Amino acid sequence: MFRSIRLLFVVALLPGLLITPLHHASAQESKPPSGQLQAQPSDDAVFQRFLEWLPSARPANDTPELTNQYRSHLKSGGASDAEVRRQMGIIGRLLRERADGWRFIFNNVYASSTPSFVTQPNALLVATVEGRKPGRALDIGMGQGRNSIFLALKGWDVTGLDVSDEGIAVARKNAERAGVKINAIRETIEAFDYGTGQWDLIVSMYEPFPVTSTEYVERLRKSLKPGGLIVLENFAPEDTMLDWTATDPGPLLVAFKDFRLVYFQDTFAKPDFVTPQEKRHLVRMVVEKRP
Ligand SMILES: C[S@@+](CC[C@H](N)C(=O)[O-])C[C@H]1O[C@@H](n2cnc3c(N)ncnc32)[C@H](O)[C@@H]1O
Ranges of residues in the chain whose predicted pLDDT is under 50: 1-37, 240-242
Q: How far is the CA of 170 from the centre of ligand 1 (A)?
A: 13
Task: Give the pLDDT confidence score for residue 187 in this predicted structure.
Answer: 95
Provide the pLDDT for residue 143: 95
Tell me the per-residue pLDDT of 6-19, one tens digit each, with 9 for 90 and over.
Answer: 333 332 222 221 12
Domain segments of the chain: what residues?
A: 2-111, 123-288
pLDDT at 78: 94
Residue 194 sits at φ, ψ, to 5 deg, of -75, -20
This prediction has a pTM of 0.81
For residue 169, how far is its CA from the centre of ligand 1 (angstroms)?
14
Residue nearest to ligand 1 atom 12, measured at CA? 141
Nearest ligand 1 atom to the CA of 209 is 16
Whole-number Å distance between alpha carbons of 210 and 12:
20
Segment (H or E) for 75:
helix 63-76
Which DSSP string corresponds to 122-185? PHHHHHHHTTPPP-EEEEET-TT-HHHHHHHHTT-EEEEEES-HHHHHHHHHHHHHHT---EEE
Q: Say how many C-beta atoms besides its own lie within 10 A of residue 172's C-beta.
A: 17
pLDDT digits (tens, 9 = 90+) for 119-173: 899 999 999 999 999 999 999 999 999 999 999 999 999 999 999 999 999 999 9
Q: In the structure, which protein residues have their CB atom closer than 6 angstroms to any atom of ligand 1?
A: 99, 102, 106, 141-143, 146, 161-164, 167, 188-190, 205-209, 273
Tell me which architecture the domain covering 123-288 has in CATH.
Answer: 3-Layer(aba) Sandwich (3.40)
**Residue 142 CA to ligand 1 centre (angstroms):** 6
Cα separation, 68 vs 70, whole angstroms:
5
Pocket residue to mutate for ligand 1, from 66, 120, 164, 235, most atoms within 8 A of Cβ: 164
